[in-house]
Chains A and B, each alone.
Chain A
Amino acid sequence: MENADMSDGAAGGVGASPVRPPRLPADPGAGERGGPEVVRAEGLSFGYPGRTVLRGVDLAFRAGELVALIGLNGCGKSTFLKLAAGLLTPSAGRVLLEGDDVARLSRRTAARRVALLHQAAPAVPGLTVRQLVRQGRYAARGPLGMLREGDDDVTSRALADVGVTGWADRPVDALSGGERQRVRLAMALAQDARLLFLDEPTTYLDLRHQLEVLQTVVRLRAERRLTVVMVLHDLNHAARFADRIVALRDGRVAADGSPAEVVTRRLLAEVLGVEGRVGIDGEGGWPVCYPDHPLDSFQLLRNENHIH
């Protein structure tokens, strides 16, 4: 398996028909693959003064996919999501959302097509759960529409989807971290977009709440036929819940494929910089990794491309 070299292969295929052949679903209940392409990044680059974050990323996501983006801190995962949602302007390349260049779409039009849940959000004193979730309707209703009541069935559905209807009138500030994360997920769902981007949706959550959020995402993907792209730090979560894993390293795609293809010792070493073992879950059949220790010679290893 030559996952580590796929970035170069993918970079060449801008004009070609589907970059990758549809893969077999890793888990039986995941639904069909190979729907129409809904996101397509072409030669996507981005940098801040003095630091390049993304270097010519080519990626395409198909309708209905559940993709996990993995990589070390600062490898460009979050930046990729923001670029793909049109919240940043690339320094080179472009992103097509359902065929349209996202840079040409107005902020509202883009927000009707893609909802992005950021890693963290500031506290808003006094805002209730329902009021916050309702803010997700902004793109659909516009500034004047937000002054009216009504059109709240989408809000109510979003509240019900993540199971927070019971505390709709509680202030967001009074909730625990896990509850707050679900409420923010509901706000993103209230945008009613077909594309859902999640930037580390499980950060700061305990194990139970991590599973709760991820299972909610998996369920909604199936119920709403959403396309979900999420940044995850836990490789085991990615292997278990996603049907495709894209690994980024130094602003490039380092590996891209089903969990069974991607999650290998080599990935652990090359992309995440840890020595570890990979096994197969006895019941689910998905790969499980056991990271053992960080590789001291991470930089060296990368230059020599040397794997044991």
Chain B
Amino acid sequence: MTPSDTLTERPARARHRARRALRVLRAPGVRMGVLALLLAVVACAGLLAGRGVTPGGVRAVLLGAADDPTAEHIVLQLRLPRLLVALVAGACLGVAGLVLQSALRNPLAGPEVTGVTPGAVLGAVTATGLGLAGWDSPTAVVVAACLGGFAGAGLLWLLTGRDRGDPERTAVYGVLVSAVLAGLTAVVLLVAPGELGSVVQWLIGSTEGRVWQHWNLLWPWALLWGAAAWLLAGPLTLLRCGDEQASAAGLATGRGRGAALVCAVALTAGAVSAVGALGFVGLLVPHLALAVFGADLRVTVPGAALLGAVVVGGADAAAQLLSRLLSSALDADRLTLPVGALTTCVGAGLLLAVARRRADER
């Protein structure tokens, strides 16, 4: 072997090793693991970020070594359910958005712009306005939000009519339906002005004051429809390939799309009834999920759930931290920043980036 041989061989072997390491990183399992780690970090941040209890106190409560009943109450009865509700609601919205975008084959579809979220908000606000439901009766709110979500999606379904297969038209009608429903919500608020605080929580989305009752209602619903979404991964992947190819391959596209839409509406309504209309999560998490996990929805649906949880959990922690900083800076004791305001601001920026990238690709 000549010296030059070893010289060329060594970088080649190093490159090969580097490539193998990259491939390992690219494996979905590894990415899932990294995300799970991130989820744990976000969860810790969410538990620690709030006011009233120091990080040390939180640790003591979680280890069962606390002797302060107030701290125990704050951590176990307020922060923990709030965190869990935020995570699961985020997962629901992420999966719902992915299912919607795949079923409608429209990267700009999301529960927010297909009438689902505005419908759910309208349902919840109307029920609250009529005195049928409130934050203290979460079951009625879930039912009302689901009815509203289905009504919004149904309205879109009726309006699109024959153009259902056309993503662009569906998107246009979706924006229209969403605007109408938001208008109706405004009318309801004018006619029956409720507590302003609770109304804002609906419209912007907030995780303030979520308790175990919310969690107990949310998780079975999320589990049920999340499982349904995963079972639909096969048809959804085909639907992404276009109706013609999908039906040639043996998928009854109408039925598949119908099932997917029901699943997306149910997931969205569940999330909205728990935390209100969190802006942009359902629209943007699917883009992240597809970029990270690829087009195989068997992996990407669970991936979108994890990503949604990380995004909303992270936003909630950030919102709590910001509220604390703002209130100490402005000396306003009760100032709280709703998590929905944060997701909307960050989401709008991200959407701009996505839209620009898509324009560049053309």
**Which positions in A face B, CB cutoff 8 Å?**
85, 87, 106-108, 110-112, 115-118, 121-122, 124-128, 131-132, 135-136, 138-139, 141-147, 184, 187-188, 191
Contact = CB atoms under 8 A, between A and B. Distances in A.
Nearest to A122: B242
A147 B298 contact: yes
Interface stretch (B53-61, B191-199, B246-254, B267-275): B246-254
Nearest to A145: B234
Contacts of A141: 234
Instruction: Sort A-B residue pairs by CB-CB distance and give the 8 closest, nearest first.
Output: A139-B250, A146-B234, A111-B250, A126-B295, A127-B295, A108-B250, A122-B242, A116-B248
Given A85-B248, A107-B250, A131-B295, A122 B232 contact: no
B70 interface: no
A107 B244 CA distance: 12
Given A124-B295, A144-B231, A135 B247 contact: no
B137 to A, nearest CB: 37
Given A118-B245, A147-B233, A128 B251 contact: no
A127 B251 CA distance: 18
Interface residues of B, number: 28
A9 B105 CA distance: 46
Given A135-B241, A147-B233, A126 B249 contact: no
B258 interface: no
Contacts of B234: 138, 141-147
A131 B297 CA distance: 10
Contacts of B175: none
Q: Is the interface of B mostly helix, strand, loop or mixed?
A: helix
19 contacts: A108-B250, A108-B252, A110-B250, A115-B248, A116-B248, A121-B244, A122-B105, A124-B241, A125-B295, A127-B241, A128-B295, A131-B294, A138-B238, A138-B246, A138-B250, A138-B251, A142-B234, A146-B233, A147-B234
A118 B248 CA distance: 8
A143 B235 contact: yes
A191 B298 contact: no
A191 B249 CA distance: 7
B164 interface: no
A85 B298 CA distance: 29
A54 to B, nearest CB: 18
A110 B249 CA distance: 9
The CB with the most chain B CB atoms within 10 A, among A131, A184, A191, is that of A131
A122 B245 CA distance: 9
Interface in B195-247: 230-235, 237-238, 240-242, 244-247
